[in-house]
Chains A and B, each alone.
Chain A
Amino acid sequence: MISSQTAPLIETKNLHTYYDDSHILRGVSIVLKPGETLGLMGRNGMGKTTLIRTIMGLVRPRSGTVHVGGRDMTREAAFRIAQQGISYVPEGRGIFASLSVRENLAISGRAGIDGATTWTLPLILELFPRLAERLANRGDQLSGGEQQMLAIGRALMSNPRVLILDEATEGLAPLIRDEIWKTVRLVRDAGIATLLVDKTVSEVTAIADRVVILVKGEVAFEGSPAALKADPAILHRHLGV
């Protein structure tokens, strides 16, 4: 029995996930330790989103296991996995268009699994002052950047142990991207473990403690950002830079 203090927050073992007959994840094992920032990289279609969706219980793996904080959560309902303190900001952000900004934030407000109440509405609004001006607006009245801030703010409102960001800066203007990266650093410094999927190599290698690269549903590289930057061949072959 691993104590929940030291157990990895997320541990996948040999995950195989299919969409119908297409074999997408081919034996993926990754670990996310408490407080760690893990960069998950790879070209489009390599299985990053599928890996996250499998971890979250939104897709069933055909074989392999997902442990959260030492507990086997394979095949558990998605909401139970989220309740283990995993906050997932999906690609496309998942903002509720028909809810106000305030409602979008309030809907996930709760104490963390450890009882923490660090992230509250006032703190989120301090972090994203733009949202404070838009509290009464509907979700679909926000710009893309504001929606991303709202999605991250909403994820933090549940006081998670793990934040999963899937392509959080994609398609955003440079100034907004900078704001998102600033937030990611702040979240890291607050001690929340982060699984960061992003194509911006410079930022991911600057922020992450470790990087995993997926190629066709397999882990093709795992190591420190320094090791990755020191290997231009891998960068070129797997990330196209």
Chain B
Amino acid sequence: MSGFLSQLLNGLQYGLLLFLIASGLTLIFGVLGIINLAHGSLFMIGAYLAFLVTKATGSLWFALPVGIGAGLVIGAVLERVLFRYFYDREHLDQVLVTFALILIFEEMRSLVVGNDFYSVPVPAALDFSIPITAGFSYAAYRFFVIGACLVLAAALITWIERTNMGAVIRAAAEKPEMVDILGLDARRVHLTVFAVGTALAVTAGGLAAPLTSVYPNMGDGMLIISFVVVVIGGLGSVSGAFFAALLIGLIDTLGKAYGQAFAGSGLGNIIAACASMAVYILMVIVLLFRPAGLFGRRA
């Protein structure tokens, strides 16, 4: 029972981290029309940044705000000097340039910090476990990650769904030409969306660093699973991405934790394999029957 509770919390925490990455991916796709393959690299950059800042200052507490600020700056610069010129280009060009960015970012990572694995210490203040039941306690830092992600998710969704700027962002995703016709400067919207999306991925990397340690290409897996979230949530939908991320986080974590129990017999091996692929199977089913996503508002 306590094992299950622990997996449930792990799934929740993983899903919320996924949301931070997938929400930026889906926003950037919805508003800018670009599928940013380098979005996973931003997660990687966030994790390495957390490692470097923690090493220099001795605490993750400095690394997290630095990550948010650096993410905004990196995103704004990328939009200004690069992505802006690719909005009207063909998808192939966009894929190529964002793929090139992955290679560039990994090469830079290799030059600056090398190819070793590093662990990042949990901040001392959170280096303990919180007892939940008599025989089960859960890491305080993981609770902190859950809380931080929830705060960021609430802020993001409020911004998108409740503010005037958010309305302009949704309008730009739906009818970009009409936004121009109304005299609204879409370039400001593009810059803001890209900067915020980037900052979220970088922040996710910083939050994840103490949990996963940091290592080369760590963004690749996150990118792929984030795409699953974006597809299931409905391309461009931030609130859809939220529910999809939680769903994927739980299914993936529980599937991997309990699927193995079936392994051994022939049928059991198949069940175990399916359980570990459950999210991808779900994505295929969604693409077949609800291509607009499970949580997309309409086709």
Contacts of B170 in A (CB 8 A): 96, 98-99
B 271-296 binary contact with A (CB < 8 Å = 1; else 0) = 00000000000000000000000000
| A94 lies within 8 A of B180 (CB) | no
Any A CB within 8 A of the CB of B182? yes
| B174 lies within 8 A of A97 (CB) | yes
Q: Name A108's contact: one of B174, B182, B185 (CB within 8 Å).
A: B182
Quote the shortest CB–CB distance from B159 to chain A (angstroms).
14
Quote the shortest CB–CB distance from B238 to chain A (angstroms).
12
| A107 lies within 8 A of B168 (CB) | yes
A-facing residues in B164-218 (Cβ within 8 Å): 164, 167-168, 170-171, 173-175, 177-186
Contacts of A154 in B (CB 8 A): 182
B-facing residues in A54-88 (Cβ within 8 Å): 56, 58, 77-79, 82-83, 88
Any A CB within 8 A of the CB of B297? yes
Any B CB within 8 A of the CB of A148? no
Tell me, in angstroms, the Cα distance from A61 to B14 when the chains sit together.
53
Q: For the complex, would chain B's binding face be called helix, strand, loop or mixed by DSSP majority?
A: helix
B-facing residues in A87-127 (Cβ within 8 Å): 88, 90, 94, 96-99, 103, 106-108, 110
| A107 lies within 8 A of B182 (CB) | yes
Any B CB within 8 A of the CB of A158? yes
| A82 lies within 8 A of B181 (CB) | yes
Q: Name A90's contact: one of B167, B168, B181, B186 (CB within 8 Å).
A: B181
A 207-230 binary contact with B (CB < 8 Å = 1; else 0) = 000000000000000000000000
Contacts of A103 in B (CB 8 A): 164, 167, 171
Q: Name B180's contact: one of A82, A98, A99, A106 (CB within 8 Å).
A: A82
Contacts of B171 in A (CB 8 A): 96, 98-99, 103, 107
| A83 lies within 8 A of B164 (CB) | no
Tell me, in angstroms, the Cα distance from A161 to B194 when the chains sit together.
34
For B179, the closest partner residue in chain A by CB is A79
For A81, the closest partner residue in chain B by CB is B183
Quote the shortest CB–CB distance from B72 to chain A (angstroms).
24
For B173, the closest partner residue in chain A by CB is A98
Q: Name A94's contact: one of B175, B184, B185 (CB within 8 Å).
A: B175
| A108 lies within 8 A of B297 (CB) | no
| A79 lies within 8 A of B178 (CB) | no
Tell me, in angstroms, the Cα distance from A78 to B176 when the chains sit together.
11
Most buried by B among A77, A79, A140: A79
Given A79-B179, A79-B181, A79-B185, 5 further pairs, Cβ under 8 A: A77-B180, A78-B177, A78-B180, A96-B178, A108-B182
Interface residues of A (CB under 8 A from B): 56, 58, 77-79, 82-83, 88, 90, 94, 96-99, 103, 106-108, 110, 140, 154, 158
Top 7 A-B pairs, shortest CB-CB distance: A82-B183, A94-B178, A78-B180, A103-B167, A108-B182, A83-B183, A79-B180
Query: Could you give 28 example pairs across A and B, Cβ below 8 Å?
Result: A56-B181, A58-B177, A77-B180, A78-B177, A78-B181, A79-B180, A79-B181, A79-B183, A79-B185, A82-B180, A83-B183, A88-B181, A94-B178, A94-B181, A96-B171, A96-B174, A96-B178, A98-B170, A98-B171, A99-B170, A99-B174, A103-B167, A106-B164, A107-B167, A107-B168, A108-B184, A158-B182, A158-B183
